[in-house]
Structure formats: structure tokens, C-alpha cells
Structure 1
Amino acid sequence: MLTERNAVFIAVLIFYTGTAIFSTIRLIQHGLRKTASERILLVFSIGRILCAAFQLATISYPTNTSVWAGYVTTFSICVSLLLSASLVLLRRLAQRAGTDFPQVAGRDSMKFCQILVTVGLILGIAGGIRATSNWGSTGSYKPDSIQKASIIIFIISWALIVFMAIHTLGKARAAGSQTQKIAVGVFAISLPLLAVRIAYSAVSIFANLRSFSSIYGNVTIMLCMALIEEAVVVLMYQALGFVTLEDGARGRSIDSDLDQLSMAETGVVASK
């Protein structure tokens, strides 16, 4: 039976098939070493495709907890992957602007935040699996305490990313390039959207309100507080990744031309 929820996830399946194809093309064009954000967005797209597939599989297997476990797990990884993509893009912009990240407790805030996001991802997956396992024995789904810990970590990670974004984009904006200005706009929109997405998960996990449940909650709430936010952020990050990669490629091309000109005129490679 094609319910409203299933119709939404059919749209999710189609949308993320497109973003996965785009990310794959970018990986082929620029190689794995230069496309960290594109790799993350590709993994995110695949995760969303699997999430939609699991949701649609519940049409035929509505009581199969293994199918629901797959759905819950793939649904829960989204926040961590988008936070990771934010970090990678910020690092790319910082390198372009020639600036470093601020220190947190004497450590690089980027590395510290990456560790937090990774821990949150692991806890989210483990908590989702344990919650669905308990569902099989109790007959009802209740968020696990491990899932709550992962949400707290994501909130802290988001706050750190905002702190780093303000620091990095402030320096990048001073550089005055068009790419840096685009980046300011992208993060000014994407970070609040990520906050809404995290808020949806927080209400779902901590308040345990049925209407906010990713399994049997209100589809409109999920669409407006989770799925649309994710889609917009993915599109904006793909656009920013495209711009920064192309900008970097043009910069390398100019450097190469200068080297060739210098060699032709003086026999010495121009210093950079």
C-alpha cells in the first residue's frame, strides 16, 4: 500500500540517486585524494537510498524488526555525515584562505570535532541497533540511552563547527575571493538547517514524542524538520564543493602556466 510516508521515501530514493551520480562523477573527475567532501556526500546519498529502500521494504515486511533496524540505522547516520562534510569543506576553505583553526584545550579544534562526530556516529548506530533489538522482545520501540549520548555529542559538535565556521569564514571573507563569499552564504544557510535537523532528532530521542518518531511519527514533521533540511544542505555542499574544486583547478592551471613562462624566459621555475 502506497502511504504518504512511502510516497515521500520514493521521492527520497529518486533525489539521492541523482546526488549519488553527481558525487560519483566528481570523484572520477578529480580523484579520491581531492574530493573528501564529495566522498562523504556520496556515502550520505547511498545511506539515504538504503534508508528509503528499507522503508519501502516494510510494505512487504511490516513486522520484520531486521528491516526496521536497517531503516533506523541508516536514518540515524545522516547528522554525523553532514557534520563531517561541513568540517571537510571548512578545512578546504581554510587552506584556500591560508588560515588555521582555533585551538580547543590546546588541540586542533578540527581534529577534536572529527573525533566527536565519529564517536557520535558509532554510538548512534549501536544505539539504533540495540533499540530495535529491544523492540523485537518488548513489542514497542523506545530510544536507547546510547542514542541519547550520540545526540548530545552531535549538539556539541554542531556548536564547535559554528565556532570554527565563524573563525574560518571571517578570515576567508577578508580574502575577498568570490568562492569565499559563496562559502559564507552556504554556511550561513546550512548550519541553521543542520540545527533544525538535530533538534528533530533530539525531540525524537529525548521527548520520545510519537509525532516526532522516525518510524511511526508525523510525516509532515519529518519532511519539514529533517528530510528537506538534509536535501538542501546536500545540494548546497555539492555546489560549494564544485566551486572550490574548480577554483583550485584553475589556480593550479595558472601556476602551471607561470612555471612554463618562467622556464621559457629564464630557465628557472617561478617560486610560489
Structure 2
Amino acid sequence: MAVDYRNGVSILILIFYLPALAIAILLTIRHGFGRSAGWRFMIIFTLARILSACFQLATINQPKNVSLYVGYSVLIGIAVSPLELVAFGLLSRITASINKYHQTLVTARHLQLAELLNIVGIILSIVGGVDSGEDYQKTGRYLPQTLTKVGLGLFIASFVAIMATAAILSLSISHAEPGEKRILLAVAVSLPLLLVRLIYASIYTFGKSSDFSALSGSVTILLCMALLEEIAIVLVYEGVGLTLRKVIKQDVATGEQNRPFQRCSG
């Protein structure tokens, strides 16, 4: 099988995400593995994108290997979850920063519950993707299962939670520490991009439009409504992450307990 349009897009994905993975690892080492950092989820996302591209390119030499197509489709579908978890991590950090000086309606527990919805969604999506793969082996058609639909519904609920949290925190953003306000701006910029990505997934999962199938649909639609949006989000998140100071554990604990501290100038 020759390299076609879809495979060419996969090559471009590899070119972008290999250095993006390196930056994600750097950010994770710099900011830590804690939930309030969230960068470990960027590692998961970039790995998922690299693996999905590798699966797609592997079909050049193994065009009849069903497992490669199923793995590609599942990774395309669930990768939006880690991006949302990165957003929750960023929101957790800005929440801790604001709560040092001003009590907001958002607490760490609220964000934990929203993250739990997302994690349940990714589990259901994986199980649903495996079930779809079994049907694909039997019928040659890859159709979304009920569990996949429920999982996507939880991703949509997570998006609503991110949007609502960002809106609530914007009312108190003036109380954030210097240099931290850009975090909320980064999340706000990512919201329209995440919305387009979820619309792409929803049209196929709920409407079953063949053009929106990541496995066999239009590559141009996939590129313009999913892959480019994800790349833009990664650029925004990692770009902001590289500019943020390292938060020590004492700072995080202080923010969660909402103890009164004098504002620093740095």
C-alpha cells in the first residue's frame, strides 16, 4: 500500500507530537506529577497521538491487520479526555492561587468530582471501542457502541464543567497571584477548540455520519475539526506551562487551606 493522504497526515502528527512529548515530560518534571499540575495527562495525550499515528502508518505494510485499525480508532476517540484533564489541572492551580487570598465558589473537591466523571468516561470509551472492534472483525463495519456514547456524554459533561469553572474563576481572577492569571486565559482560549473537537466526535457517535468516522471518513474533516484543534490546544497549554513558575508543595497546601498570606510581588 502506498502512502496516501491519511498516512501523510499521520506523518505530520508524528513530526509535531514527538517534540511535544519531550516538552510534556519536561513540564511534568518541572511542575511535578501532582493533580494540581496536570502535566502527566499531557504525556498521556501526546503518547496516544503518537501511537495512533504509528498504528495508521503500520497499515501500509499490514493492510489487513484489523487490530491496527481498531487501535487507531480507539486512540483517536479517547484522546480528548487527557486534554480535558490537563485543563482541570490548570484550573486546579489557578483555584489554589486565588483561594490564598479570596474564597471562591470553586474548591478542589469540585474539580476532583469533575475529573472523576472524565476518568469514568475514558474507561467506558475504551470498553466501547473494544466492543466496536469485535464487531468490525465480524462485519467489517466499525460502529459506536452504547458505552462509547455514554463515555462521550461524560466528556461533554466534563467540557461543561471546565467552561463553568472558568467562568466562575474569572469573577475572582484579580485575586490570583502575579503570573498566574495567564492560566485562565489559556483555558479560555482552548474552550472553542475543545468544543469543535467534541462536535466532530458527536456527529459520528450520535449521528453516525460516515464522513465523520475517524477510521474511514473524510481525512480533511478529521484534520480540520479534530487534529488541528488538538495541536492548537497543545501549543497553548505547553506554551503557558513553559512560562509558569514552579509551585512548591507548601504553596499548594496553603492555597487549598485558604490561609491568609501576604501577597508576594514575584
1:82-105, CA deviations, whole angstroms, 9 ceiling, x for partnerless residues?
A: 1111101000011111244537xx
Residue of structure 2 equivalent to 1:23: 24
TM-score by length of 1: 0.84
One-letter amino acid of the counterpart of residue 192, structure 1: P
Give the number of aligned pairs.
248
Residue of structure 2 equivalent to 1:263: none
Residue of structure 2 equivalent to 1:223: 223
The answer (yes or no) to whether the contact 1:126–1:146 under 8 Å persists in 2 is yes
Q: 2:161, 2:32 → 1: CA distance?
A: 29
Residue of structure 2 equivalent to 1:238: 238
How far the C-alpha of 1:248 sits from its partner, in A, is 3.8
How many percent identity over aligned positions?
Answer: 33
Q: 2:172, 2:138 → 1: CA distance?
A: 54
How far the C-alpha of 1:176 sits from its partner, in A, is 7.2
How far the C-alpha of 1:173 sits from its partner, in A, is 3.6
Residue of structure 1 equivalent to 2:72: 71
Q: Which moved more, 1:115-124 or 1:34-43?
A: 34-43
Q: Which moved more, 1:63-72 or 1:32-41?
A: 32-41
Q: 1:5, 1:228 → 2: CA distance?
A: 14
Change (3 A) 1:35 1:183: closer
TM-score by length of 2: 0.86
Change (3 A) 1:167 1:35: closer
Matched, 1:102 2:103: no
Matched, 1:184 2:191: no
How far the C-alpha of 1:233 sits from its partner, in A, is 0.7
- Secondary structure at the counterpart of residue 108 of structure 1: helix
- Greater helix percent: which structure? 1
The answer (yes or no) to whether the contact 2:13–2:50 under 8 Å persists in 1 is yes
The answer (yes or no) to whether the contact 2:94–2:176 under 8 Å persists in 1 is no
| Structure 1, gaps ≥5 residues long | 253-270
State how 1:1-272 maps to structure 2 within 5 Å.
1-33=2-34, 36-98=37-99, 99-102=103-106, 108-175=109-176, 177-180=178-181, 182-244=182-244, 246=245, 248=247
One-letter amino acid of the counterpart of residue 239, structure 2: A
1:21-77, CA deviations, whole angstroms, 9 ceiling, x for partnerless residues?
A: 112223334443487322110111011000000011111222221111211221122
Q: 2:35, 2:122 → 1: CA distance?
A: 24
Q: 1:223, 1:215 → 2: CA distance?
A: 12
How far the C-alpha of 1:242 sits from its partner, in A, is 2.5
- Secondary structure at the counterpart of residue 38 of structure 2: helix
The answer (yes or no) to whether the contact 1:73–1:128 under 8 Å persists in 2 is yes
Runs of at least 4 residues off by over 4 Å: none
Q: 2:43, 2:241 → 1: CA distance?
A: 12
Q: 2:37, 2:237 → 1: CA distance?
A: 12
One-letter amino acid of the counterpart of residue 102, structure 1: V
The answer (yes or no) to whether the contact 1:37–1:241 under 8 Å persists in 2 is no
Q: 1:75, 1:231 → 2: CA distance?
A: 13
The answer (yes or no) to whether the contact 1:101–1:110 under 8 Å persists in 2 is no
Between structure 1 and structure 2, the one with the greater Rg is 1
Change (3 A) 1:33 1:123: closer
| Structure 2, gaps ≥5 residues long | 252-260
Change (3 A) 1:11 1:88: same
The answer (yes or no) to whether the contact 1:51–1:74 under 8 Å persists in 2 is yes
One-letter amino acid of the counterpart of residue 190, structure 2: S
The answer (yes or no) to whether the contact 2:125–2:151 under 8 Å persists in 1 is yes
1:214-267, CA deviations, whole angstroms, 9 ceiling, x for partnerless residues?
A: 0011111111110011111111111222333x2647x98xxxxxxxxxxxxxxx
- Secondary structure at the counterpart of residue 61 of structure 2: coil
Q: Which moved more, 1:89-98 or 1:182-191?
A: 182-191
Q: 1:132, 1:34 → 2: CA distance?
A: 32
